[in-house]
Chains A and B, each alone.
Chain A
Amino acid sequence: QVQLQQSGPGLVKPSQTVSLTCAISGDSVSSETAAWHWIRQSPSRGLEWLGRTYFRRLWFDDYAVSLKGRISINADTAKNQFSLLLNSVTPDDTGVYYCARGSEFGVLIDAWGQGTPVTVSS
């Protein structure tokens, strides 16, 4: 049974970078039938998909159009984990950030991390 354990700071200053990590147990970040997603939740935006990374002989990633240029998701095969970097943050980026697994070749989001509340404030 896959488990996802998130870590990272919960308070970030405006214009700085949100940096979160998701450690995977019970599956492999290099699995060619899974994808690894980041999703956030806020009262104003609801649940919002941010992006994903996945391995199909090579590494690929996709990002929400609204965040392109500010977001990067990377895998660390040695530690079996993946990370989120979101830069140039504003208070509008405040919310709870979740990592998640997509099964069935990455499309069905069926397992979630515990969530990390992130506040953007000076």
Chain B
Amino acid sequence: DIQMTQSPSTLSASVGDRVTITCRASQSISGRLAWYQQKPGKAPKILISQASSLESGVPPRFSGSRSGTEFTLTISSLQPDDFATYYCQQYKSYWTFGQGTKVEIK
């Protein structure tokens, strides 16, 4: 099984901050990585696929990158609507998720 290790588990930030979340895969997944945003009581919403492709309708302040088996989600300027929990997910071999990063108000 491919394990996904996501960090940090919690992140305190202010509106306008640049925020970075990291996810490391236990083995090569090529670029088969997605990022999701989840708000309380709601289903996850896809933000990015194939490590760096922004999904339709997602604001361009969100971006994704890859270096080997390490993947990064960056929010360039945090907005009030962005306080949520973020998950990475690999889809190279079945599907496994990171443990999540809660972005909270500082």
Residues of chain A having any CB pair with chain B under 8 Å: 37, 39, 46-49, 62, 64, 98, 107-110, 112-115
Q: Chain A residues with Cβ under 8 A from B32's Cβ?
A: 107
The secondary-structure label for the interface of chain A is strand
Number of residue pairs spanning A and B whose beta carbons lie under 8 angstroms apart: 39
Are A109 and B46 closer than 8 Å at their CB atoms?
Answer: yes
Q: A1 → chain B, closest Cβ, in Å?
A: 10
- Nearest CB in chain B to that of A37: its residue: B95
Are B43 and A49 closer than 8 Å at their CB atoms?
Answer: no
Q: Chain B residues with Cβ under 8 A from A37's Cβ?
A: 95
Q: How many residues of B contact A (CB 8 A)?
A: 18
* B16 interfacial by beta-carbon distance below 8 Å: no
Stretch at the interface among B20-28, B63-71, B72-80, B96-104: B96-104
Q: Chain B residues with Cβ under 8 A from A114's Cβ?
A: 43
Are B43 and A110 closer than 8 Å at their CB atoms?
Answer: no
Q: Which of A46, A62, A112, A113 contacts B97 (CB 8 A)?
A: A46
Q: A33 → chain B, closest Cβ, in Å?
A: 15
Q: Which of A47, A49, A98, A112 contacts B94 (CB 8 A)?
A: A49
Are A110 and B94 closer than 8 Å at their CB atoms?
Answer: no
